[in-house]
Amino acid sequence: MNKSWKDSIYLQREELAHILREPMARLAERCTQAWGDREQLNAILDSGFSSIPNCTFLYCVGMDSIQICDNISQSGITSGHFGRDRSQRPYMKEVVPSWGFLLSDAYISLTERRPSLTALQVVRRDDHWLGYLGADFDLRNLSVTSELYDEPGYWRQVKGDPAIRGTVFLQSRAESPMDKNMDQALSILEELLTQRGVFQCILHFSSSQATIWTVDDPFRYRILDHEALNDPDICLVFPSRPYPSNAAIPQVDIKRILNTMQSLRLADSTFYLRTASINIFNGTVSLTFSCDGSHYMSYVEFLMKDTAFWF
């Protein structure tokens, strides 16, 4: 039976949890003796940083989610985080299991806007929970061990935009789930295109899908529905790949292209982008608007035209 992307995420997360659980527990036990002492906690986390594989930051928070030491990275202490309230971060809203270890769902980081995840280990004295040892991970630094999932082979029928050229002035864009979650969806797609081996992507804005092709399996496409595009964990399924040296579109222009497509989707309620595609090897961008007009052009020409040209 073929695995779905959810199955692959589960297997990948299971492997990551297996790798992290014991070293996190050992380091949390060391923190117990210094709990409440900022300087001592900094020293313990700094000396134990190398024991947590592929970690970006280590820190400790109390049960109130307030950080009680500094961030510790590979280069040492990163100031500016002592006293930080982390209560609104996604990983602090998840329920830590009774055994005291949590590997959070992936999320988009605040500063770098990259898919990330956090491991939390309870720090306890006897049966009393003092707080948590936190470890942040950039998904780019985590190796993917699960197999790339297979797209199901059954036929899918999806209702698209009902607008056609003859009735374009009678219609108005209906807000799709992708429209409501555009920033997060485009952050995930940027990661897939620039870091995860996706070389072609078709965005179906009205029906909230993206169809993608990867350099690892270029002869078959995969469909990411709205649920996948709202879950940064999907990035765990695709192994990290260097951006191809023979790509016609520079890596730095991928974000500009996606942002311009977002503008064309949202700029007007009558004339709006329904579907668009990027192929990094032939350097082309395609656009299909609500009036049923389609356009194919180089990415350079596309980026030279602003929304005023189209509307």
Which CATH number characterizes residue 91's domain? 3.30.450.20
More confident residue, 173 or 68: 68
pLDDT-derived band at 308 (thresholds 50, 70, 90) equals confident
Displacement of CA 219 from its chain's centroid (Å): 25
pLDDT number for residue 147: 66
CB 186 within 8 A of CB 262: yes
Q: Which residues pair with 198 in a beta bridge?
A: 214
Phi, psi torsion values for 235, nearest 5 degrees:
-65, -25
pLDDT number for residue 208: 95
Q: Which residues pair with 222 in a beta bridge?
A: 212
**At which residue do the structure tokens 């036929």 appear?**
155
137 & 172 share domain? no
Q: What is the mean pLDDT of residues 204-221?
A: 95
132 & 173 share domain? no
Q: Of the candidates 86, 106, 141, which is a domain's last residue? A: 141
Output helix, strand, coil percentages for the chain, rounded to the nearest 5: 35, 25, 40
213 & 304 share domain? yes
Whether residue 67 is predicted with pLDDT greater than 80 in this model: the reply is yes
95 & 54 share domain? yes
The Cα–Cα gap between 305 and 202 comes to 20
For residue 153, being part of any structural domain is answered with no
Whether residue 103 is predicted with pLDDT greater than 80 in this model: the reply is yes
Q: What is the mean pLDDT of residues 173-192?
A: 94
What total number of domains does the chain contain? 2
Whether residue 158 is predicted with pLDDT greater than 60 in this model: the reply is no
Q: Of the candidates 126, 141, 156, which is a domain's last residue? A: 141
Q: What is the mean pLDDT of residues 114-130?
A: 92
pLDDT number for residue 157: 35
> In sequence order, which residues have a C-beta less than 8 Å from that of residue 208 and are 6 or more positions away?
176, 177, 178, 225, 226, 229
Whether residue 302 is predicted with pLDDT greater than 50 in this model: the reply is yes
Rg (CA), the chain: 23
Give the residue numbers spanning the domain of 113: 5-141
Which bin fits 206, alpha (ψ -120 to 50), beta or left (φ > 0)?
alpha
For residue 296, being part of any structural domain is answered with yes
Whether residue 143 is predicted with pLDDT greater than 80 in this model: the reply is no
Phi, psi torsion values for 29, nearest 5 degrees:
-65, -35
Residue 165, classified by CB atoms within 10 Å of its CB into exposed (0-12), middle (13-18) or buried (19+), is exposed
For residue 158, being part of any structural domain is answered with no
pLDDT-derived band at 1 (thresholds 50, 70, 90) equals low
DSSP state of 294: E
98 & 196 share domain? no
State the pTM of this model.
0.66
pLDDT number for residue 87: 93
The Cα–Cα gap between 265 and 290 comes to 10
For residue 156, being part of any structural domain is answered with no
Q: Of the candidates 87, 108, 141, which is a domain's last residue? A: 141
